[in-house]
Structure 1
Amino acid sequence: MTHEAGWAHAPGALRGPSWLRTPGDVNALVPQLWSTTAHKAGGDLVIGGVALADLVAEHNTPAYVLDEEDFRSRARAFRDAFAGWDVYYAGKAFLCTAVARWIAEEGLCLDVCSAGELTVALRAGVDPRRIGYHGNNKSISELRRAVAAGIGRIIVDSVTEIERLEMITADTGLTARVMLRVTAGVEAHTHEYIATAHEDQKFGLSITSGDAFDAVRRLQAAEGIEMLGLHSHIGSQIFDASGFEVAARRVLALHARVADELGVAMPEMDLGGGFGIAYTTQDDPSEPGQLAAEMARIVDHECRALGVDRPRLSIEPGRAIVGPSVCTVYTVGTVKPVTLDAGAVRTYVSVDGGMSDNVRTALYDADYSCTLANRESAAPATLARVVGKHCEAGDIVVRDEFLPADVAPGDLVAVPGTGAYCRSMASNYNHALRPPVIAVRDGVARVVVRRETEDDLLATDVG
């Protein structure tokens, strides 16, 4: 039950969550939360061979620090583990032209879900045939552009979209290669807003109601449309393959029904993404090899049971590739001990960013970790709350974490696991300037997305 004075005054509020333990060494990193090149050297956090203190001296804070080698190695791990599958990097997690090129160079395909993301992909030189285009409300102009560009697959999300594609292909004489997004009635164990396969939500067409089969029938009969197969996505931040088992069974049953009743063996199937990462020590994600083996077993078992050949399969990891590859570094501005009931004290550590560069804590009640990044401390660990500078009580970056008790203004604090959806969902709230993305590799730092300026902020203000 919520305390009448709010969560900060509830009994035990300062004990932290049950999974958070007092560290033996408050200066040490928890390796599974960080990119593979991250380590401490004399108290300095070093990533990609670059000390963050040196990076900050040149580029200021806040800043997203992208470990290029870690990103590429995670992309390769999915590519190799899912050999024989098509691996589409989900650009919505984070996309810029440099990342799009890295994805192409590592042999992955790219998934986009807006005209802007498509523009970035094409500007980066990604082969259109290796692009998938998502979205539940693609406009006629967006679809025209996708068809004209020769996009490899458009993931159809509604009957209205089918009608639009029929019109466009009739007008242009071009062919649209499509997949149909279906809802399998499976709800992943995740936040309501990122669980996407239950029936009561905006994506896809229902298998249970028969809407999905009717849409397949129409797509198969349409002139100018090449129907590749079915697409399913059950949610995000998923740690094992168990949720995919039920979804695969239902989607493959529809696949088999289409073959039986319409006489069409659709060549492909996409099981989506949503593979999770470790944001804190409570998270235990599966490795790509384990996911690949379990998902292949599931699909092969169902195909044998249904008496159908296995279609060419694809997945769409985004967070699992870019999430651990990025940390965000901030400068501490104020440290405020706040006395609560019974003399308990909560330490608020305010940094120079917040919900404008990481809205996930406020939006999804997400948990994050952090570390002091610029020095080693001999002070004992104290439970702190890292908060932003915005005019919102919910502007929290890290809800609970142990930091050295002597954390002070001017210190650097780094938050791992911020590669997915932090820069992508960043805003100009309170007219904040969005931070840069700085790639580091082999001791070299280079800006791949520059920091916004006040001129950028005013560029669209026609008043």
Structure 2
Amino acid sequence: MEIQTKQHHQKNFIFDHCDTVELANQYGTPLYVVSENLIREKCRAIKEEFLMKYPNTKAAYASKAFLTLAMCKIIEGEGLGLDVVSGGELYTAIQADFPMEKIMFHGNNKSYEELEMAVANNVGRIIVDNFFELEMLEDICSSQKKKVNILFRITPEVEGNTHSYITTGQKDSKFGIPLQEKIIESAVIQVTKSSYIDLKGFHFHVGSQLFDQQSYTKAIATAVKLMETLYIKYGFVTEELNTGGGFGINYTNEETMPIHYFVDYIMEAIEIGCREANLKIPTIIIEPGRWIVGEAGITLYTLGAIKEIPEVRTYVSVDGGLPDNPRPALYQAKYKAIVANKINEAADKVVTIAGKCCETGDILIWDLLVPTIEAGDILAVLNTGAYNFSMASNYNRLPRPAVALISDGEPQVIVERETYQHLIERESIPSHLINNKKSFNIKK
């Protein structure tokens, strides 16, 4: 999303028709703000440039990027499926009455209870990651007398051009079934003999925040080769191929590419590969998450302490940081930000935006250009819709922020701000500690 930081007719930064300073005053800070309109725009681009353009295609939103009950309803309303990776995400979808047949359940270490929940609720696809999971699934389906449709997640042995922590398709990956002949073929043979499990095809994921089309092409070539081998040796027909997501967005100076930049390339590679291998093109599935929601969100903070170290740096602290946005500490992620109540003032000072946690690494933005600032100003960090709310924690016992959804210019709280009481509501004090009556003799 392009943000026009100079808005001469406005005193404050406007995000999707809402005054961000008024939002901060109304709901407090830190505050996640999400635009429903921008989310729907991205969903409709996927429908127009992929689902309606190519036959036998599906798209599922990767909910790990951002998931709430309201987000489930938006995605359902746009006709997309949902990619979940845990019992908690699945439970959220169930409580939102999301269509279960449109859910794809991922995860490299699903528990028995999570798989029981998935089978009991008739999840559309379970993406099986390993033999341990396959054995549990067989047992669960047998006990529930149900048949499930699965895809095998494979490791395509492709290095994505991204941070090492968010590349997933390399040979040495915790995700997926290795492509060694004895491993992947034995898995296919085992499942084709099952009365309860129907193998529909395969899934791969190369990584996140990718702009390089070649990563997808290499992974597709590997997948098609596997499809060809299995057809020739065992007569197995691959009905579905899930190519994952990972499409990159603009955080600082990157260019967010339209969805056709990725899917046209993917579909061309699959068409060529299948034609050369004399295979029927399977149903193709994509799973974008960040690309849908990343640019639809901002985070608002209030500036606090300003600490100038002469000839070194000026630190400007905000009332959040690492707990509401761990990405800079995890991946050295970079963001743009603007002082929301001073958008028409010249940005001629360089400062570093620090979080309030007791961690040296709690720095949100290094070397940000700002106008003359003071405590109480409102900072808007842009493009924080993905992997901020979903990765938030209570580190340093900080309550997690509220989430406000803007719908046609009207803000509504869809997640309430946590209070200090929320931090302790699941805790208890053992009886022997209440009056400190018990003492322990520690032997030396």
With structure 2 as the length reference, what TM-score do the two structures score? 0.93
Tell me if structure 2 keeps the 8 A contact 1:240–1:285.
Answer: no
- For residue 380 of structure 1, report the CA deviation from its aligned partner: 4.7
1:312 to 278, 283, 287: 283
Task: List runs of 5+ in structure 2 lacking aligned partners.
Answer: 430-444
CA distance in structure 1 between the partners assigned to 2:352 and 2:221 by the alignment:
44
- What is the one-letter code of the residue matched to 1:235? G
Instruction: Write the deviation string for residues 207-229 of structure 1: whole angstroms up to 9, x where unpaired.
Output: 14542222122112211101110
Instruction: Write the deviation string for residues 325-357 of structure 1: whole angstroms up to 9, x where unpaired.
Output: 000010000222212xxxx33121111000000
Instruction: Write the deviation string for residues 92-116 of structure 1: whole angstroms up to 9, x where unpaired.
Output: 0000010011001001000001111
SS at 1:272 equivalent = coil
Task: List runs of 5+ in structure 1 lacking aligned partners.
Answer: 1-30
SS at 1:180 equivalent = strand
Instruction: Write the deviation string for residues 341-399 of structure 1: whole angstroms up to 9, x where unpaired.
Output: xxx33121111000000000001011111001012454451222111111111101112
1:224 to 175, 185, 196: 196
- For residue 285 of structure 1, report the CA deviation from its aligned partner: 3.1
CA distance in structure 2 between the partners assigned to 1:241 and 1:329 by the alignment:
34
1:61 to 29, 36, 45: 29
> Residue in 1 aligned with 2:380?
414
Q: Write the mapping of 1:7-406 to structure 2, written as runs, cut at 5 A.
A: 32=2, 34=3, 41-83=9-51, 84=55, 85-208=57-180, 210-281=182-253, 283-339=254-310, 344-404=311-371, 406=372
- For residue 80 of structure 1, report the CA deviation from its aligned partner: 2.0
Instruction: Write the deviation string for residues 183-217 of structure 1: whole angstroms up to 9, x where unpaired.
Output: 01001011111100112121101114542222122
Aligned-pair identity in percent equals 38
Runs of 4+ in structure 1 deviating by more than 2 angstroms, as ranges, are 36-43, 375-380
SS at 1:79 equivalent = helix
Q: Which stretch shows the higher mean deviation, 108-117 or 260-269?
A: 260-269
2:392 to 426, 444, 449: 426
CA distance in structure 1 between the partners assigned to 2:152 and 2:138 by the alignment:
14
Q: Which stretch shows the higher mean deviation, 261-270 or 321-330?
A: 261-270
Tell me if structure 2 keeps the 8 A contact 1:437–1:449.
Answer: yes
CA distance in structure 1 between the partners assigned to 2:227 and 2:361 by the alignment:
45
- For residue 445 of structure 1, report the CA deviation from its aligned partner: 0.7
- For residue 316 of structure 1, report the CA deviation from its aligned partner: 0.5
Q: Which stretch shows the higher mean deviation, 376-385 or 81-90?
A: 376-385
Instruction: Write the deviation string for residues 396-416 of structure 1: whole angstroms up to 9, x where unpaired.
Output: 111232111x11111111001
Tell me if structure 1 keeps the 8 A contact 2:7–2:344.
Answer: no
Instruction: Write the deviation string for residues 398-453 of structure 1: whole angstroms up to 9, x where unpaired.
Output: 1232111x111111110011111111110000000100110113331100111111
- What is the one-letter code of the residue matched to 2:405? A
CA distance in structure 2 between the partners assigned to 1:386 and 1:334 by the alignment:
10
Structure 1 residues 363 and 198, CA, compared in 2 at 3 Å: closer, same or farther? same
How many pairs does the alignment contain? 425
CA distance in structure 2 between the partners assigned to 1:39 and 1:139 by the alignment:
51
Say what the alpha-carbon RMSD is for the aligned residues: 1.6
SS at 1:280 equivalent = coil
Q: Write the mapping of 1:449-460 to structure 2, written as runs, cut at 5 A.
A: 449-460=415-426
- What is the one-letter code of the residue matched to 1:173? K
Tell me if structure 1 keeps the 8 A contact 2:126–2:149.
Answer: yes
- For residue 37 of structure 1, report the CA deviation from its aligned partner: 12
CA distance in structure 2 between the partners assigned to 1:37 and 1:207 by the alignment:
49
SS at 1:197 equivalent = coil
Tell me if structure 2 keeps the 8 A contact 1:434–1:451.
Answer: yes
